Each structure stands twice: as structure tokens, then as C-alpha cells.
């Protein structure tokens, strides 16, 4: 196992966890619950071990409002059907010297993560509606009264149960489930 493969695995884990959630800090409990009970990636004990490893190595940082990813970190969107490999995460090195340092930034609010193209991105056509995801989350949250994290959680649950479905499509399904006017959702998706 190469360090590059482990690093890519970490970036995919962080992308899957925080992408689409905006600048939301997640508590330690929320992260372990998400990884173990929502995504079914790890047992609760393993999820806690992965969290501690990510915090110790510097990929994730404890801030005042919760856990945030390394500021300015380049991450990779995982390919369809991906799930994390526990031993790669547990044996991953810390961020490379190219990654910005987080020293003294525990009080900072999280910044947007830079998403790099995955090596598998050429296999799939570009998702023209991907840019509408933050807007969709905001609209659904505002119109339904659900918190943004809850909207994302429900959309991720739909993705797991339906298989190969995009995040924006699962968000549209959440909106439909909440009885929202779909013309608003359609215009938000088509605006990008």
C-alpha cells in the first residue's frame, strides 16, 4: 500500500463527509454516528478510531464549533460505489508539506475545500447540476424547516438505498418527499 493511496483514501473520506454540508462543523459524536450508523462504513468503535487518527495526523482539526477538515485541503470526489478501506485510513500519513498548516487555527471557521479531479473522473460525464447542490440544500432547508445537516443526511440515505444516483437528484427527492414546489427545485438545478 502506497502513501499516495492512503492519502487519496483520506481525501475521499473527508470529501464524502463534508462535501455538500457547507461550512458546517460536525461534533465528534455526529462524525462517528455518520460514519457508523448512517453510512455503515465502520463499527462505532472503528469510527471513533478513524476520527482519532484523522485528528492526530492533522487531516481533521478540533475547532470551537466542532471538527473541521484541514483548511484549504485538496480533496477528491470518490467514484460511484466507493467506501473507505479501514486499514488504509489507519495507516495513512499526515498531510504532505504542500497542504497548509493548521497551527494556531483552531479558532478559525472552516473554509471551503478545494476539490480536485479524481483519477476516475474521466470515466463519467461531468455532472452539470453539481454546482447547484449548496443552493438546493439551502432552499430545501428554508422551505421545509429542516436543518441543512438533516437535509444532507436524508439525501445521503437516499443515495445509499437507490445506488447510482447523484447528490442533486437525491436532494430533489428529499424536496419532493417534503412536499415542496418542484418548480423552485427545477429552476435551482437548471440555473447552473
Q: Please report which confidence band the pLDDT of residue 49 belongs to, taking 50, 70 and 90 as the band edges.
A: very high
**Residue 67 shares a structural domain with residue 143:** no
Q: What is the DSSP string of 79-117?
A: PTT----HHHHHT-----TTSPP-TT-TTSPPPPPEEEP
Q: Are residues 140 and 82 in the same domain?
A: no
Taking 90 as the threshold, does the pLDDT of residue 63 lie above it? no
Same domain, 118 and 143: no
Q: Please state, in angstroms and rounded to a whole number, the distance separating the CA atoms of residues 8 and 60.
A: 15
Q: Which three cell numbers stand for residue 146?
A: 429542516
The mean pLDDT value for 118-146 works out to 69
Residue 40 and residue 115 in one domain: yes
User: Does one domain contain both 21 and 107?
Assistant: yes
Within 10 Å of residue 152's Cβ, how many Cβ atoms?
27
Q: Is the pLDDT of residue 51 over 80?
A: yes
Same domain, 111 and 64: yes
When mean pLDDT is compared over 6-20, 55-69, 101-115, the highest value belongs to: 55-69
pLDDT tier, 128 (very low <50, low <70, confident <90, very high otherwise): low
Which residue segment(s) compose the domain that 89 sits in? 3-122
**Residue 186 and residue 104 share a domain:** no
Tally of structural domains, the chain:
2
User: Which residue, of 106, 122, 138, is where some domain finishes?
Assistant: 122
Element (H, E) at 134: helix 133-144
Q: What is the value of pTM for the model shown?
A: 0.51
**Is 142 in the same domain as 66?**
no
Residue 82 has pLDDT above 60, yes or no: yes
**pLDDT exceeds 80 at position 172:** yes
Looking at the fold, whether 70 and 144 belong to one and the same domain comes out as no
Pairing assessment for the beta strands 60-63 and 66-69 based on DSSP bridges:
antiparallel
DSSP letter at 163 equals S
Asked which of 60-64, 91-95, 116-120, 138-142 is least confident by mean pLDDT, the reply is 116-120
Amino acid at each position: 500500500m502506497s502513501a499516495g493511496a492512503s492519502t487519496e483514501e483520506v481525501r475521499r473520506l473527508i470529501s464524502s463527509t463534508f462535501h455538500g454540508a457547507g461550512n458546517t462543523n460536525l461534533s465528534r459524536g455526529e462524525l462517528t454516528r455518520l460514519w457508523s450508523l448512517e453510512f455503515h462504513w465502520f463499527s462505532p468503535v472503528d469510527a471513533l478510531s478513524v476520527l482519532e487518527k484523522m485528528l492526530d495526523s492533522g487531516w481533521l482539526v478540533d475547532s470551537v464549533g466542532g471538527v473541521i477538515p484541514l483548511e484549504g485541503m485538496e480533496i477528491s470526489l470518490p467514484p460511484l460505489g466507493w467506501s473507505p478501506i479501514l486499514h488504509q485510513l489507519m495507516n495513512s500519513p499526515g498531510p504532505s508539506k504542500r497542504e497548509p498548516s493548521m497551527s494556531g487555527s483552531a479558532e478559525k471557521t472552516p473554509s471551503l475545500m478545494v476539490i480536485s479531479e479524481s483519477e476516475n473522473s474521466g470515466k463519467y460525464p461531468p455532472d452539470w447540476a453539481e454546482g447547484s447542490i449548496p443552493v438546493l440544500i439551502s432552499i430545501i432547508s428554508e422551505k421545509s424547516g429542516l436543518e441543512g445537516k438533516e437535509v444532507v443526511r436524508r439525501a445521503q440515505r437516499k443515495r445509499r438505498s437507490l445506488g447510482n444516483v447523484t447528490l442533486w437528484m437525491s436532494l430533489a427527492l428529499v424536496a419532493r418527499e417534503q412536499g415542496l414546489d418542484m418548480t423552485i427545485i427545477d429552476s435551482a438545478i437548471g440555473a447552473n
